Chains A and B, each alone.
Chain A
């Protein structure tokens, strides 16, 4: 583990998962910076995420969970949305990727996403009651094949008509 060009220590994905697990075990919540695009458009690369414990809590449809694959499997920490259940497991899917859903068992779930901050502002879209609709759209692939391309088109048109107000 070495510092990056700015001298900031960059933790490996699995290291972040270890720290998260330890903080949540103490009853605290855990903040970290998102890396990747698997939850776009609801979570962007660089967003600040806060994860809370799920002790004595049953995750609900549409909630976003942090989970970790057992050592030696997968890429460590993942933050994806609950889109269904299968037996004792939860079916999780990234909003912004077209990969197969993951079957995750409770022992691998670290916590649930309770806050997203982007550029210092709290972003609520995707964590409120609309989460159930998002879960359904994600499960049926409509989010990836229909809603997401449509949203990008609308954004492009909006940007062209308001070039001074464009944001990333």
Chain B
């Protein structure tokens, strides 16, 4: 995923996962062959990840998400953090490009 063009793209959670906010944590269960197994793989997101996840609404590009978070995460290279986070989740098939 090249950084320069990815900021224009929109990513959404895959149909092959289930995500729920539980006690303030976002928990993601991938459905492997239709089975969600909490013993196999379960993901929880860090603070930045949670903030990005909540903005992945199918309308905002990654650049817009980075701009929206720049104030909250002042001093961080938030665009790089957003790209890195999305890259990891795309690799694990948790996020897919919209459209």
Contacts and interface: CB of A to CB of B under 8 A. Distances in A.
A19 B23 contact: no
A146 interface: no
B22 A11 contact: yes
B35 A19 contact: no
A89 interface: no
B35 A12 contact: no
Interface in B32-62: 34-40, 42, 44
Contact of B38 (A12, A27, A28, A33): A33
Interface in A7-32: 9, 11-12, 15-16, 18-19, 22-23, 26-32
A1 interface: yes
Interface residues of B, number: 19
A31 B41 CA distance: 11
A29 B27 CA distance: 17
A28 B34 contact: yes
B34 A11 contact: no
B22 A26 contact: no
Contacts of B44: 9
Interface of A: 1, 9, 11-12, 15-16, 18-19, 22-23, 26-33, 48, 50
Given A9-B25, A11-B42, A32-B38, 5 more contacts: A19-B29, A22-B20, A23-B36, A26-B31, A33-B39
